Amino acid sequence: MSEKRAPLGIGVVGCGYWGPNLIRNFHQLRGSRVVQLADLDEKRLNHMEELYPEVQTTTDYEQLVQNDEIDAVVVATPVDRHAEVGLAALQAGKHVLVEKPMTRTSEEARRLIDEAKKRDRVLMVGHVFEFTESVRKCKSILDDGTLGDLYYINSQRLNLGLFRNDVNVIWDLAPHDFSILLNLLGGKRPRGVRAIGASHINPQVEDVATMTLDFDGGLVAFVQVSWLDPKKVRQTVLVGSKKMLIYNDIEPTEKLWLYDRSVEGPAEYETYAQFPYTYRYGDITVPRIGGAEPLRTEAQHFLDCINSGKTPLTDGHSGLRVVEVLESTDRSLSEGGARIELPA
């Protein structure tokens, strides 16, 4: 008979917009016990105490990371505090789950990676969309060659608000799209990035932006993000040589649509005037997708990695790749949309 494992003690730093969702999931999972919460806003802490009266609270995150009852720390603060809090937790011997984007700079991301390796701790980044059944199915369809050679990807993440002052719309929304793209492409890095954006409401913060990522083999990806769109859009289109796939996250059930459509030219031709195109219009299929809550799956994966010692799907290196793309968009914006090459 196997020995029953005690629940892992969890501390959560940041009880604002996303923190409560993480708290709820870790509270409900059998393999974890939420021990303590930290936030600078005492009103938020009072609200958490009403929901979870057995959980300790503090306005000092350093007190939380030094708590001997805590095995792992979840960092859900604004991104400017991710590196500071994450590093303190790792140095205290805790495993760390840090929300997206991992850090504000690639240098900070590498420091967290190095510290986690040095301490033999699990470091995971909250790229929650990689834990959705929809994205996993998209990757399966890509990996099995159903789409043929991938030509391009077009991703849109648009809505009206929520406006932020600490980061621009790219740092707020695009980490989701970048993590999805890099996951679908097996971690393949883009060769270069171009970004253009505009500030309409706050002159210091871009609220709309479009980015182009080019990869080896001629593959190109377009990413559009906006806080100023009248309609909420969460859609990714993948166009291949054999078939095309649409992932629409707004749809409640039928999130994936696989189009048996393509266009072909002749293998040989003498003049452009003789260049004929062949269009194929086949069936449209809707793959079945499970309904598990992605955040619950992510939280359970974090616990499993701690207990087993395996590397998380969204480990520190995954977070670093996204931060490197984000940094490149900042440089491109400042240089008027110039193409910025990424590290090899």
Each of the 344 residues of the chain gets a pLDDT tens digit; together they read 445 789 999 999 999 999 999 999 999 999 999 999 999 999 999 999 999 999 999 999 999 999 999 999 999 999 999 999 999 999 999 999 999 999 999 999 999 999 999 999 999 999 999 999 999 999 999 999 999 999 999 999 999 989 999 899 999 999 999 999 999 999 899 999 999 999 999 999 999 999 999 999 999 999 999 999 999 999 999 999 999 999 999 999 999 999 999 887 666 666 666 567 788 888 999 999 988 899 999 999 999 999 999 999 999 999 999 999 999 999 999 999 999 999 87
Inter-CA distances, 29 with 17, 34, 37, 98, 134, Å: 21, 10, 17, 18, 23
Which fold would CATH assign to domain 130-293+325-341? Dihydrodipicolinate Reductase; domain 2 (3.30.360)
Residue with tokens 């892992």: 8
What lies within 8 Å, CB to CB, of 119 at 6+ separation is 90, 91, 93
Q: pLDDT value at position 264?
A: 79
Q: Is the dihedral of CA 215, 221, 227, 233 positive or negative?
A: negative
For the chain, residues classed under CATH 3.40.50.720 are: 8-121
Q: What is the pTM of this model?
A: 0.94
Inter-CA distances, 187 with 138, 234, 312, 321, Å: 15, 22, 14, 8
Q: pLDDT value at position 278?
A: 82
Q: pLDDT value at position 30?
A: 95
For the chain, residues classed under CATH 3.30.360.10 are: 130-293+325-341
Q: pLDDT value at position 280?
A: 82
Q: Is the dihedral of CA 60, 20, 30, 305 positive or negative?
A: negative
* CB neighbour class for 23 (10 Å; exposed up to 12, middle 13-18, buried from 19): buried
Contacts 24+ apart (CB under 8 A), 56-64: 61/13, 61/85, 61/88, 62/88, 63/38, 64/11, 64/13, 64/36, 64/37, 64/38
Residue 159 three-state SS: strand
User: Domain 8-121, what architecture?
Assistant: 3-Layer(aba) Sandwich (3.40)
The total of other beta-carbon atoms located within 10 Å of residue 111's CB is 17
Closest of 131, 141, 129 to residue 285, by C-alpha: 141
